[in-house]
């Protein structure tokens, strides 16, 4: 079982709507399918460090071994959850994560947005229904927490919803866990008077810095 891999990027390429990297790890070359967003960052040199780490899902078949790589453990685990649904294969799972973030998928499940889910290549109406039904059960606690947090923000601070949503997405992309993020958001809201701060040019950068101070293992009890 391969859980994660760290190595030197040797090559990257695209085959139809599949995106691949070849990584040298201790003299062995691992061919790994990755998400389009990470592929484009590598291709456009947005990531200068060619020594990369990926969380891996290894799928063993009779005639092949397939490796799927993700930049965060949450992405990898979400992919595994998708694969556990009857009739859903690896390419549908990758297609879903290529098109939407985890938060967007959870929101689609919460609102039963079948049109959004079925917009993924290979997902028809019946599979969309099945995905929403089974993923709703798997992510019941996350959906309830999301609803509770969103209600608080929408009622008290409707003018800064976008800033809060962007903050959550950014922290997720930095590999902070959803539970940790949800824990510190109310604390940040309570600590700073957002409507007043907004009048004083509260910036997203300042909000992000404050959130990371709480999440920083050296500066808070909410350590990663």
Give the tens place of pLDDT for each residue, 5-56: 999 999 999 998 899 999 999 999 999 999 998 999 888 887 767 889 999 9
pLDDT at 179: 75
Does 100 score more than 90 pLDDT? no
Residue 84 sits at φ, ψ, to 5 deg, of: -75, -10
Residues 6+ apart with CB under 8 A from 141: none
pLDDT at 214: 77
Question: Measured between alpha carbons, how far is residue 16 from residues 36, 83, 89 in Å?
Answer: 11, 21, 17
- C-alpha torsion sign, points 5, 56, 53, 39: positive
CATH number of 4-70: 2.40.50.140
Burial, 120: exposed, middle or buried (Cβ in 10 Å; 0-12, 13-18, 19+)?
Answer: buried
Residues 172-217 pLDDT 10s: 777 777 777 877 777 776 666 555 554 456 677 777 888 888 776 4
pLDDT at 206: 79
In percent, the amount of the chain with pLDDT more than 70 equals 79
187 torsion bin: left (phi>0), alpha (psi -120 to 50), beta (else): alpha
CATH number of 73-138: 1.10.150.20
Give dist(CA 131, CA 110) in Å, integer.
12
pLDDT at 145: 47
- C-alpha torsion sign, points 47, 48, 52, 53: negative
pLDDT at 146: 52
Domain parsing of the chain, residue ranges: 4-70, 73-138, 142-215
Reading the block at residue 89, the tokens are 């294969």
DSSP state letter for 146:
H
Does 161 score more than 70 pLDDT? no
Q: How confident is the model at residue 79 (pLDDT cuts 50, 70, 90)?
A: very high
Q: Is the whole model's pTM more than 0.75, yes or no?
A: no
pLDDT at 45: 82
Residues 108-132 pLDDT 10s: 888 888 888 888 888 888 888 888 8
Strand 51-60, strand 4-15: pairing: antiparallel
Region 142-168: mean pLDDT is 57
92 torsion bin: left (phi>0), alpha (psi -120 to 50), beta (else): alpha
4-70 and 73-138, same CATH topology: no
Residue 73 · residue 55 · CB < 8 Å: yes
3-class secondary-structure state, position 224:
coil
């Amino acid at each position: 079982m391969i859980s994660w891999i760290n190595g030197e990027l040797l090559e990257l390429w695209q085959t139809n709507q599949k995106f691949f990297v070849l990584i040298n790890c201790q003299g062995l070359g691992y061919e790994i399918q990755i998400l389009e967003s990470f592929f484009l960052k590598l291709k456009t040199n947005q990531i200068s460090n060619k020594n990369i780490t990926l969380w891996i899902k290894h799928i063993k078949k009779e005639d092949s071994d397939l490796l799927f790589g993700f930049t965060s453990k949450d992405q990898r685990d979400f992919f595994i959850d998708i694969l556990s649904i009857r009739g859903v294969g690896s390419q549908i799972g990758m297609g879903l994560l290529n098109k939407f973030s985890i938060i967007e998928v959870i929101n689609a499940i919460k609102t039963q947005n079948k049109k959004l889910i079925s917009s993924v290549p290979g997902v028809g109406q019946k599979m969309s229904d099945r995905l929403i039904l089974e993923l709703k059960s798997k992510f019941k606690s996350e959906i309830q927490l999301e609803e509770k947090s969103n209600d608080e923000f929408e009622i008290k601070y409707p003018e800064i919803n976008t800033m809060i949503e962007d903050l959550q997405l950014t922290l997720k992309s930095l590999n902070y866990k959803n539970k940790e993020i949800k824990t510190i958001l109310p604390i940040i809201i309570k600590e700073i008077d957002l409507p007043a701060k907004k009048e004083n040019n509260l910036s997203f950068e300042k909000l992000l810095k404050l959130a990371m101070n709480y999440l920083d293992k050296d500066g808070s009890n909410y350590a990663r």
